[in-house]
A and B are shown apart, each in its own frame.
Chain A
């Protein structure tokens, strides 16, 4: 039976890690993810896990240590945020291309500058091409559940890719809310043991990890990696189906909230989706056909499925919580635009960059977005396609 509890997002992730009892946790602290290794260190001290807990000197080293462990056939985890994730950048690509399924918890936080500790997705979006699977949660429950599914997805023989479990810094990482925790033995049974077919220390079939890829072979490795990311789509859904059967909570690539007959909709991620749901409920009470799609899996990007989900809408606002400085929209807008490009009939679409560096996103702000969409849906001008919201006028 599930255990009713109240935990912050960070404690929920640390709890999932304790239940999974990974072989190695290489840690370097950074706000707002620091509590994850902090809680975990207590579990180590209390003998609740037998994980090799390594305190290293940087994030570059924490992920490198994880890769060493993974290459040796162990299950390795770490956690980071913001500049820490950026400092891992080089090693993230090594993890992806070496096909080492390390699981990385990211409490998403703005990148400098100006220097800022609060939430947006500039850190994780900057690593969207690193070869990591990226799964985002709306609240502590989803983050916990995503973590329970993470190792099975990453370690699946058809995938073998590293994975980021992303939570919203502070908004989720430091907010205490109700949560249902699953029993330790059931979690262990669900996640299972990690038994890689080949690894560095397997004496009967020694393996080289990270060799030079000459031009004659580099592309083949990259295509195989791209195929693994495609394969991940099926595995993500299979694991979600088993998760639902085992624990009763349902997950997909994204959540469609009141989308069946929606004429106007947002495409949005993380905790902001929860706030926008309250706006959708208010609008529905007034007869406005509003809905939203909350992206859960950003890598692999579920383009075809998303296109189907929003094809029937008249107007859609893509809500980007990071600024990509492309001068024509944020990363979520680019992906969503690409997804719908070949639809015969497609919605009018705008991009709104919001919530940078912890700028609060309120129900009223969400309502103002739907107000703009109503005007566009009624045949009005789209106006500027790419705008920012919530910033001071001067």
Chain B
């Protein structure tokens, strides 16, 4: 059970949607036939405070319900967290960290307290604003995490997400294309 399980930790700020991103990833993995867990860790919730959310994705149901201390992947939705939160704590060397930033992996690595594994960056702000006209970092971050972690097959992910968007935005079909472009662009543009 443990061998094929992928564990992911999300860091964001209250209101930015790290919890939603983890739910979307669980949705995508669920649609591909996996067993999923998506759960937030709540402190005293307030807008802008650092929050953590988690995913476990596996081929068998996972009965463990603790937080994740040694994740395979870490996703950072807000790069200002790098200054205040030890985002790479316990992160496996064989894994990777994915940071939402306009900077390159080389520029980010010195901020990661000596993390030796793979460092990936994605400019979710640019991708979101150019395709959706507003800043929704979740969609590009989700695609970047899928691309880097390989937790879901890329093509299946894109086709599942399209179905999901067409259902969700049945009354706003114009939004569907923008979101799909976000996903594809993020998968292509994630660096590192």
A residues touching B (Cβ–Cβ < 8 Å)? Answer: 6, 117-118, 138-139, 168, 170-172, 174-178, 271-272, 274-275, 277-278, 358, 360-363
Q: Quick check: is B40 within 8 A (CB to CB) of the other chain?
A: yes
Query: Which of B30, B35, B66 meets A360, CB within 8 Å?
Result: B66
| B contact residues around A118 at 8 Å (CB) | 42
A139 to B65, Cβ gap below 8 A? yes
A171 to B64, Cβ gap below 8 A? no
A170 to B39, Cβ gap below 8 A? yes
B19's nearest neighbour on chain A, judged by CB, is A174
B65 to A175, Cβ gap below 8 A? yes
B39 to A178, Cβ gap below 8 A? no
B63's nearest neighbour on chain A, judged by CB, is A274
| A contact residues around B65 at 8 Å (CB) | 139, 168, 171-172, 175, 271-272, 274-275
B39 to A362, Cβ gap below 8 A? no
Nearest Cβ distance between residue A257 and chain B, in whole angstroms?
10
| A contact residues around B40 at 8 Å (CB) | 170, 174
Query: Which of B38, B66, B69 meets A176, CB within 8 Å?
Result: B38
A170's nearest neighbour on chain B, judged by CB, is B42
Q: Quick check: is B86 within 8 A (CB to CB) of the other chain?
A: no
0/1 interface trace, chain B 43-67, chain A, CB 8 Å (1 if under): 0100000000000000001011111
Nearest Cβ distance between residue B139 and chain A, in whole angstroms?
18
Distance, CA A360 to CA B27, complexed state (A): 25
| B contact residues around A362 at 8 Å (CB) | 66-67, 69
Query: Which of A170, A177, A278 meets B37, CB within 8 Å?
Result: A177
Task: Pick the 10 closest A-B CB pairs, nearest first.
Answer: A274-B63, A175-B39, A271-B65, A176-B38, A362-B66, A6-B30, A277-B63, A278-B64, A275-B64, A360-B67
**Number of B residues contacting the other chain (C-beta, 8 Å)?**
19
Distance, CA A363 to CA B66, complexed state (A): 8
Q: Quick check: is B23 within 8 A (CB to CB) of the other chain?
A: yes
B36 to A176, Cβ gap below 8 A? yes
Q: Quick check: is B26 within 8 A (CB to CB) of the other chain?
A: yes
A355's nearest neighbour on chain B, judged by CB, is B66
Interface of chain B residues 1 through 45 with chain A (CB within 8 A): 23, 26-27, 30, 35-40, 42, 44
A–B Cβ pairs within 8 angstroms, 25 of them: A6-B26, A6-B27, A6-B30, A118-B42, A139-B63, A139-B65, A168-B65, A171-B39, A171-B65, A172-B65, A174-B39, A174-B40, A175-B38, A175-B39, A176-B26, A176-B36, A177-B36, A177-B37, A178-B35, A272-B65, A275-B66, A360-B67, A361-B66, A362-B67, A363-B66
B63 to A6, Cβ gap below 8 A? no
| A contact residues around B69 at 8 Å (CB) | 362
Query: Which of A117, A172, A178, A278 meets B63, CB within 8 Å?
Result: A278
Interface of chain B residues 67 through 115 with chain A (CB within 8 A): 67, 69
| B contact residues around A168 at 8 Å (CB) | 65
Distance, CA A275 to CA B63, complexed state (A): 6
| A contact residues around B39 at 8 Å (CB) | 170-171, 174-176
| A contact residues around B35 at 8 Å (CB) | 177-178
| B contact residues around A275 at 8 Å (CB) | 63-66
| B contact residues around A176 at 8 Å (CB) | 23, 26, 36-39
Which of B27, B42, B64, B65: most chain A Cβ within 10 A? B65
B42 to A178, Cβ gap below 8 A? no
